[in-house]
A and B are shown apart, each in its own frame.
Chain A
């Protein structure tokens, strides 16, 4: 098996990509559900502007997101300096940075579908549940969330796909450090730059196969519901 693979190939970028995308999706999911609920159910003055701000990563080039994270969390920023001084931690050139970048880029997809799903729920079902001496949290978890779930799930799958393909923002924040922050997309970029076409081809094949598998699995799962 190993003899078929070109020089310089290893499985690390694949594993890291899966890990980064999974964590980024989880992060986007939690934040997206919370914000989606607020925007759909508890609008406040100016909430449409705030929502638009969270949707920005969908239209802005990833380089802008990367730059924003660098400015906000870099060593010279107040947050970055504090983290470094007190916890000896830096987000930059760390794979956690790729998770944050991917989550920011994937968030609009969860947020939009979650807020649409919450807005379309039949409110009388929730009202009925609250007459059955359920707490507000219990109504949310046992009625609202299950009703909104199909919509949220569709957005989550898109978010995962987006996070898997993240390149620009992650490259700026986490860098492409072999065996530490180099994801699949970065490994492909480096292989092409270095003229290692056979390596690039294998990595592209792995990425494509994986993406098809994810899409087929998600389609099947969604149609089973």
Chain B
């Protein structure tokens, strides 16, 4: 009797570790937060028993976590440069790498009491006291912003106005609260807070914004990770991505 009870207990403890229930860890760029949260649920519905754990941050921060040995299965970056760095650190199974969405860089202002901005040059004006930008070292949107503003010969002149943010979503947060007068985010981020921020202009002069995704070389769930990457190309997944404003690669 006692022994069978013990056996039952052991069985119960072992259940979550059963081979069919796999846990997939997906590290994705902060701008993918809303779309991937929805896609993660859809993927779970398609592969019963498996769970998707999502980890959102600036692409550079995610890279840093992975190079320190974080157990990640899939990496989705908001720029090619960060993925290239991951490849050069031998973190990526390069055969699985592909571009899966595109995006564009926009300048946003708070809907309530934001300054009137029509061109990038207007950012030099007195009503604009603070501009939120992603940290150039870790946040892709910060590098796209730098390229666009350097092309317009404004980067150095505007630098005293910059407030550096840890991710594109922090830029969005600063602008939506009205703590800064303007900020650079992706079009898809601006769409998430349509009631609080308005798009002043679409910036040009930067590398095209395209998002690569890949399975990690050290992934313990390579088959499932591959399925997740393939799933993003299916019509239902494309529909979700398009609804959030992401473009076809």
Contacts and interface: CB of A to CB of B under 8 A. Distances in A.
Given A193-B60, A193-B64, A74 B177 contact: yes
B162 A177 contact: yes
A93 B138 contact: no
Interface in B196-247: none
B115 to A, nearest CB: 13
A192 B64 contact: yes
A177 B178 contact: no
A136 interface: no
Interface residues of B, number: 20
The secondary-structure label for the interface of chain B is loop
A190 B135 CA distance: 9
Contacts of B180: 93
A75 B112 CA distance: 11
B192 to A, nearest CB: 19
A75 B164 contact: no
Contact of B64 (A93, A175, A194): A194
A70 interface: yes
A92 B166 CA distance: 16
Contact of A75 (B137, B163, B177): B177
User: Among A76, A176, A195, which residue has the most Cβ atoms of chain B within 10 A?
Assistant: A195
Nearest to A88: B129
Given A190-B135, A195-B63, A93 B177 contact: no
A52 B135 CA distance: 39
B137 A177 contact: no
B130 interface: yes
B68 to A, nearest CB: 9
A178 interface: yes
A178 B137 contact: no
B153 interface: no
A194 B179 contact: no
A92 B129 CA distance: 12
Contacts of B248: none
